[in-house]
Amino acid sequence: MEEVEHPHRHLYSTLSPPRSCGESFRDALLRVLDGRLFQFLGLVILFLVVVDGAFFFFLLIGAQRMCRPRTDCEPRNWWYNFAVQFLVALFTWMSVVSMPWRCTNAIHVFGIGCPYRSNGPGKNLYGLDVNDIWFHIPLNKRRWILLFLILNCVTQYFNQVTRIIYYSYELQNTSPGNIWTNGKFLCISIVEYSCIFFCTSST
């Protein structure tokens, strides 16, 4: 994200049309999200995802000695629900932090920014030539990638809402809670695998 601004800072005064207030705000926001604080938080979040994910998996397969039967008892069920809720919250945080970058690039590749900047191959958010590999991906493919990425964020937000509504182990494992929570998880998985398939497919 820094590459969008830093190498061409001296060209801002020559941009036509000049850099807008919205673009200045966007750059400031992306700098903050790409700063050391959020990079550190990102590492912490990844660590927590690994730890909580492992904890969730062990509870899922019944690898615990808290109670019997191993896959349906208390306090196992309470901790299982906690692990799920915490994991969903971590993914929601990641979706919130990544959404500005995804929306910014979507506005650019679809050519709906104001003022308009060239979105051709190799052109960054200001329509300047850069070597960043992202801006050299074919335009249509970038559009599809961003649509999938934004859809992934949106489905994650809905998933978080369902986990708030159906907040307990009992609510999320009985109808309609199990339909909403598992349905949203299935939608997220479909979007993620679709994006991976599209990104790795030939251009």
Considering the entire predicted model, what is its pTM?
0.84
pLDDT in tens, 51-81: 999 999 999 999 999 999 999 999 999 999 9
CA of residue 89 relative to chain centroid, distance: 12
Separation between Cα atoms, residue 109 and residue 99, nearest integer Å: 15
Q: Reduce the DSSP state of residue 79 to 3 states and report it.
A: helix
pLDDT at 5 > cutoff 50: no
DSSP for 101-163? Answer: HHHHHHHHHTT--SS----STTB-TTS-B---GGGGS-HHHHHHHHHHHHHHHHHHHHHHHHH
Q: Reduce the DSSP state of residue 170 to 3 states and report it.
A: helix
